């Protein structure tokens, strides 16, 4: 497996709950995990992310909900409408409904994970309009 040059690692409050959200709801793939460390490496298309249950090793300050304030993660996918419908079917509220965005992608939605990290899923309808 090729690792991206930048792979964010998110500290999560409950690894089981986060894995369920990322794997079952968002349909990420589990690349590998270290069960004893409560760590998982996930991918979706060409996007990669790591999640690890909070253990005090990486804390630079008090971690309170919502985690990741001031950052959002753009994840390029093939079908934003399909994901939005799946999230709504499961009762998961979108942070921001589908909107058109003419500078990076044609469609995007924003949703928060169980710890409040903001995920921005985008879909380009124009092949010449790629990610930054």
For the chain, which domains are there?
Answer: 9-55+69-123 (3.10.180.10)
Q: What is the predicted pLDDT for the residue at 103? A: 55
Q: What is the predicted pLDDT for the residue at 123? A: 86
DSSP run (H or E) holding 87: helix 80-89
Q: What is the predicted pLDDT for the residue at 130? A: 46
Using CA atoms, how far residue 81 sits from 52, 86, 108, in Å, is: 29, 9, 9
Q: Phi-psi region for residue 119, left (φ > 0), alpha (ψ -120 to 50) or beta?
A: beta
**pTM of the predicted model, to two decimals?**
0.85
Residue 50: Cβ-neighbour burial (10 angstroms; 0-12, 13-18, 19+): middle
Using CA atoms, how far residue 52 sits from 17, 28, 85, 105, in Å, is: 11, 15, 28, 30
13 φ, ψ (degrees, to nearest 5): -80, -30
For 112, the 3-state DSSP assignment is strand
pLDDT along the chain (132 residues), means of 10: 93 97 96 97 96 89 90 91 93 84 70 95 66 42
Q: What is the predicted pLDDT for the residue at 20? A: 97
Return the bridge partners of 96, or none. 110
């Amino acid at each position: 497996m090729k690792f991206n040059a930048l792979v964010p690692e998110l500290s999560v409050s409950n690894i089981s709950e986060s894995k369920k959200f990322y794997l079952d709801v968002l349909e990420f793939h589990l690349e590998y995990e270290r069960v004893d460390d409560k760590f998982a490496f996930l991918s979706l298309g060409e996007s990669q992310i790591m999640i690890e249950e909070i253990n005090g090793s990486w804390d630079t300050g008090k971690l309170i909900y919502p985690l990741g304030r001031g950052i959002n993660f753009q994840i390029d996918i093939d079908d934003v409408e399909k994901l939005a419908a799946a999230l709504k079917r499961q009762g998961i509220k979108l942070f921001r409904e589908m909107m058109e965005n003419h500078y990076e992608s044609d469609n995007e939605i924003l949703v928060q994970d169980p710890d409040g990290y903001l995920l921005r899923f985008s879909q380009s309808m124009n092949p010449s309009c790629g990610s930054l």
